[in-house]
Structure 1
Amino acid sequence: MKRLIQHGLMFANLFEVSSPALIERYNRALDHLTGKRTKLDNFHIDLSGFSPEVGDELGDMDYLNPGGCNRQIILLSTQQKDAPLLEMKFSTTQNIIRDFIAANEAQLFTLTARDAVAGELQNSVFSVPEPQSLLDIRSVTVEADTTTGIVRDAAKLDKLIARFRDEPDAWWDDVLVAQMIGLARTTGDVTRAPVTFETPSFRQDDFWTAHHGGLYVFRSVGSPAVLANVPFEASGIDVHDLANRNGVANFLQVNGLTQPIVEGRGEAAAGILREKMEHLAIDALGRAGQLPEAIDDRSLRRAMQARGAGLPPSVHALGAMLAWAEGRGDWPRIDSANPAYFHTLRAAPGPLRDLTNMLLAELAPQDFRQLHICHKPLFYDLYRASPEPLKAWVAERLTKDYAADRAGVWKHLYASDVAAPMPQVVLTKAVRAKGPWG
């Protein structure tokens, strides 16, 4: 993993904690949440306040996420909003924390100037011993406060102020006035600078989770379903096996979640297909121990030419689509039985775009760039188990093809309006005739 770190492909943009004041605030929050403290004098934290260095020191990479269900957070600065989220268990966690920071940035800026803000993302369940338990999750509530309880005290002061204003004899209530003065010493003037958090609760209808082998929950679509690596019995919703490519393809098509990754002939479409072919070839050659030592385009082309017959069918299918995009051939029929099928799709625009792209990346993991962009947990798992020559090629290609222009590459691959009319990518006849539910 050292290559990824050196190239800025892992642990990039973490927030550095090195000043004694910040370290002490972090320790107060850590002790408040877990009863533990760190002895490190320099470490880095992610969006939620998790530190891989502290996790290594404590021997517990889940020290802020016990049980993997209700993630705890430590905010030292609003600058954490630009950091990535590590050790992700739910796909919605990152957006929830970022939305929470964005909605309360002014309050958090003021509070973190003096203290750390600690809290928890509370699901409607406390543990998920069975897959069915995941379906009980409907919302996530963000509960947060400083380690000294300023937000809690501000709420108390608000109630006392309301009493003071409403009760006719409040002016003469010395106990009430004394309580208000005492709380105001720590909270400040809450009438002019409110210390409350907005939008603390978030809907959780559609999400990916790493629990129980990894599964995707789609509940806001026309035909709701769960797509799981380890299928299970569930009441009130269909469960599809991710290994059943035809069933998954039907689900995506019925709900209008995907569109072709190329929108027509032209150099832009050809470029996407050419890059995908190269990524699939690198993956196949790397796992076969046939990657050249020199990491450059010319060496890769020679290797692909020399071992073309041995490359997987998905590479040849994308090659036929590339020929069409360049005007050198007819539109190839690539249905859901073809190993290249999910490589030809991307998510349609809409609120489920990122979750669908994450699913497509898992269904087509040979495209390591797409996997790195859309499904980092799976990317890191597969990278860790890859042969060393393949790791070297992947790190170099990601640095060249993605890290140099992350926003441009993302827009090139995924940020598209609804696809223009083009030849239809169809499902296999058997599935199209029968349908996914018989």
Structure 2
Amino acid sequence: MRRLIEKGLMFGNLVEVSSPALVERYRRALRHLTGKDTALTDFHIDISGYAPEIGDELGDDLYLNPNGCNRQFILLTTAQKTAPLLHIRFSTSRGILQQFIEANEAQLFALTARDAVAGELENSVYEVSNPTRLFDMRRVTVQADTIGGHVRDAGKLAALVDRFRREPEGWRDDVLIAQMIELAKKTGDVTRVPIALPAMSFEQPDFWTAHFGGLYIFRGLPFPGVIARAPKAGLGALPVAPVMDLGDRNAIADWLERNELVEPIVQARGTDVAAILRQKMDFILVDAADALNLDLGSATRADLRKIAHRLGSALPAEFQGLGALLRWVEGAGDWPRLTSEHPAYFYTLRARPGRLRDLVNMLLAELAPLDVRQLYITHKELFYASYRGWSDRKRQYVADFLEREYLVDRQGARRALFGPEPGMDELQRPEMREGPKPATDLLQRVGPWGAVRGRG
């Protein structure tokens, strides 16, 4: 993984903690939350305050996320809002933390100037030993305060000030006045500079979790469903149906269409469809050549074309399906009929705009895993797991490509591939849509590339 780290493709954009004051604040917060400590004098933290160096030191990558739920966090600076979240267990966690920081940025800026802020993403579930426990997770509440309890004390002081103002003899109450003075030494004048970090709650009807091999849970849709990475038989009875796994390609395709969650790439406005298809074909070709131990050369498009000619009829079905679509896009071939049974089918789709865009693109990355760019952008946990199993040739090609084509303009690449980012209102307040409208043309009635067959 060193190659990825050196290129900024792993552990990138973390916040450095090296000043003695910040290190000591972090240590106090760590002891407060976990009872553990660190001897390190410099490290890097993600949006939640997790430091991979401390994870290595403690031998515990989940030291801020016990049991993989109710993630705890340590904020030393509001700059953490742009950092990634490492060792994700729930797809909603980073978005919730980011929204919390942005909604309270002024207060957090003032509080972190004097102390670390620590807190937790709370829900009513404290362990997930059984898949059914995941369905009790409906709302996440963010609770936070400084290690010194400044927010708590400010609330106490505000209540005492209110009492002092309401009671006619308050000015004679020496005990009350002494309490106010003592609290004000810690909090400052809360009448002039109020201190507050109100608890924020976020609904969580739809999410991915790393538990049980990886599950996508959709409850806020007209047609709910669960999609598992591992065989669904191992999950037992669940309160949401249907339950599908990645082998149920036809059923997943049908379910995505009924919920209006996907659109064909060729229909996406303002998209260079031909360029996207060519790049997907390159990724597929690199994987095929690597599996046969063929020399990639410099892995230029000319080199890859030579490999394609060499493979001939042995070219992967995914490559041939996308090639047929590319010929149609460029006016050199007929409209291809790629049903959900075709290996190229999910490579031709992207999520429709809306609050579930990133989650659906994450699912599509699992259904089209040879598109390593989409895999890296939308599902880093799976990307890193897959990377470990690749040959050094493929690792080098993918790392060089991502450094050259993605890191130089992350936002532009995401916009070109997936469309505009969902608005914060869409992310914070999940919408309950009415059922899909009746199909208005043949394309909507039969699916993007032909009739969706069965529900396998």
Distance 1:234 1:367 in 2: 31
Q: CA separation of 1:2/1:225 partners in 2, compared to 1, >3 Å: closer, same or farther?
A: same
Distance 1:363 1:214 in 2: 13
Q: CA separation of 1:210/1:268 partners in 2, compared to 1, >3 Å: closer, same or farther?
A: same
Give the structure 2 partner of residue 39 of structure 1: 39
Distance 1:426 1:383 in 2: 31
* CA displacement, residues 31-80 of structure 1 (integer Å, 9 cap, x when unaligned): 11111221112211011100111111111111111111111101010001
Q: CA separation of 1:80/1:430 partners in 2, compared to 1, >3 Å: closer, same or farther?
A: closer
Give the structure 1 partner of residue 129 of structure 2: 129
TM-score, structure 2 as length reference: 0.90
Distance 2:35 2:270 in 1: 60
Q: CA separation of 1:170/1:416 partners in 2, compared to 1, >3 Å: closer, same or farther?
A: closer
Distance 1:325 1:409 in 2: 21
Give 2:417's aligned amino acid.
L
Range with greater deviation from structure 2 (138-147 or 313-322): 138-147
How far is 1:322 from its partner? 0.3
Give the structure 2 partner of residue 65 of structure 1: 65
Q: CA separation of 1:166/1:297 partners in 2, compared to 1, >3 Å: closer, same or farther?
A: same
Query: Is the 2:135–2:239 contact (alpha carbons within 8 Å) kept by the matching residues of 1?
Result: no
How far is 1:267 from its partner? 8.4
Tell me whether 1:147 sits opposite 2:170 in the alignment. no
Distance 2:162 2:254 in 1: 57
Distance 1:416 1:44 in 2: 30
Distance 2:179 2:132 in 1: 48
Give the structure 1 partner of residue 48 of structure 2: 48
**What does 1:400-411 align with in structure 2 at a 5 Å threshold?**
400-411=404-415
Distance 1:263 1:130 in 2: 41
Distance 1:111 1:150 in 2: 8
Give the structure 2 partner of residue 425 of structure 1: 448
* CA displacement, residues 8-32 of structure 1 (integer Å, 9 cap, x when unaligned): 1111111001111111111111111
Q: CA separation of 1:362/1:105 partners in 2, compared to 1, >3 Å: closer, same or farther?
A: same
Give the structure 2 partner of residue 179 of structure 1: 179
Tell me whether 1:315 sits opposite 2:319 in the alignment. yes
Identity of aligned residues (%): 54
Q: CA separation of 1:267/1:106 partners in 2, compared to 1, >3 Å: closer, same or farther?
A: closer
* CA displacement, residues 97-150 of structure 1 (integer Å, 9 cap, x when unaligned): 000000000011011111111111112200111001000001111111111111
How far is 1:167 from its partner? 2.3
Range with greater deviation from structure 2 (369-378 or 234-243): 234-243
> Secondary structure of 2:84's partner?
coil
Give the structure 1 partner of residue 348 of structure 2: 344
Give the structure 1 partner of residue 98 of structure 2: 98
Q: CA separation of 1:412/1:188 partners in 2, compared to 1, >3 Å: closer, same or farther?
A: same
> Secondary structure of 2:337's partner?
coil
Tell me whether 1:391 sits opposite 2:414 in the alignment. no
Range with greater deviation from structure 2 (400-409 or 92-101): 400-409
Give 2:293's aligned amino acid.
G
Q: Which runs of 5+ in 1 are unaligned?
A: none
Query: Is the 1:264–1:422 contact (alpha carbons within 8 Å) kept by the matching residues of 2?
Result: no
> Secondary structure of 2:267's partner?
coil
Matching residue within 223, 245, 250 for 1:246: 250
How far is 1:298 from its partner? 2.6
Tell me whether 1:333 sits opposite 2:333 in the alignment. no
Give the structure 1 partner of residue 425 of structure 2: none
Distance 2:194 2:118 in 1: 18
Query: Is the 1:246–1:427 contact (alpha carbons within 8 Å) kept by the matching residues of 2?
Result: no
**What does 1:10-21 align with in structure 2 at a 5 Å threshold?**
10-21=10-21
Give the structure 2 partner of residue 263 of structure 1: 267
Distance 2:417 2:269 in 1: 15
Give the structure 2 partner of residue 363 of structure 1: 367
Distance 2:270 2:55 in 1: 49
Query: Is the 2:225–2:240 contact (alpha carbons within 8 Å) kept by the matching residues of 1?
Result: no
Distance 1:264 1:212 in 2: 34
Tell me whether 1:292 sits opposite 2:296 in the alignment. yes
Distance 2:339 2:56 in 1: 46
How far is 1:228 from its partner? 1.5
**What does 1:366-377 align with in structure 2 at a 5 Å threshold?**
366-377=370-381
Tell me whether 1:279 sits opposite 2:302 in the alignment. no
Q: Which runs of 5+ in 2 are unaligned?
A: 422-440
Tell me whether 1:302 sits opposite 2:342 in the alignment. no
Give the structure 1 partner of residue 194 of structure 2: 194
> Secondary structure of 2:260's partner?
coil
Query: Is the 1:100–1:199 contact (alpha carbons within 8 Å) kept by the matching residues of 2?
Result: no
TM-score, structure 1 as length reference: 0.94
Give the structure 2 partner of residue 138 of structure 1: 138
> Secondary structure of 2:375's partner?
helix
Query: Is the 1:287–1:386 contact (alpha carbons within 8 Å) kept by the matching residues of 2?
Result: no
How far is 1:271 from its partner? 0.8
Q: CA separation of 1:427/1:188 partners in 2, compared to 1, >3 Å: closer, same or farther?
A: farther
How far is 1:275 from its partner? 0.8
Distance 2:450 2:258 in 1: 11
**What does 1:114-125 align with in structure 2 at a 5 Å threshold?**
114-125=114-125
Q: May I ask how many residue pairs the two structures share in their alignment?
A: 431
Q: CA separation of 1:303/1:183 partners in 2, compared to 1, >3 Å: closer, same or farther?
A: same
> Secondary structure of 2:363's partner?
helix
Query: Is the 2:223–2:259 contact (alpha carbons within 8 Å) kept by the matching residues of 1?
Result: yes
How far is 1:351 from its partner? 0.8
How far is 1:263 from its partner? 2.0
Distance 1:155 1:167 in 2: 18
Distance 1:320 1:430 in 2: 20
> Secondary structure of 1:307's partner?
helix
> Secondary structure of 1:300's partner?
helix
Distance 1:422 1:4 in 2: 45
* CA displacement, residues 188-244 of structure 1 (integer Å, 9 cap, x when unaligned): 122222211245211111110000110011111101111112423112543222320
Distance 1:96 1:149 in 2: 22
Query: Is the 1:103–1:199 contact (alpha carbons within 8 Å) kept by the matching residues of 2?
Result: no
Distance 2:268 2:229 in 1: 33
Distance 1:315 1:244 in 2: 21
Give the structure 2 partner of residue 161 of structure 1: 161
How far is 1:414 from its partner? 0.6
Query: Is the 2:48–2:73 contact (alpha carbons within 8 Å) kept by the matching residues of 1?
Result: yes
How far is 1:161 from its partner? 1.8
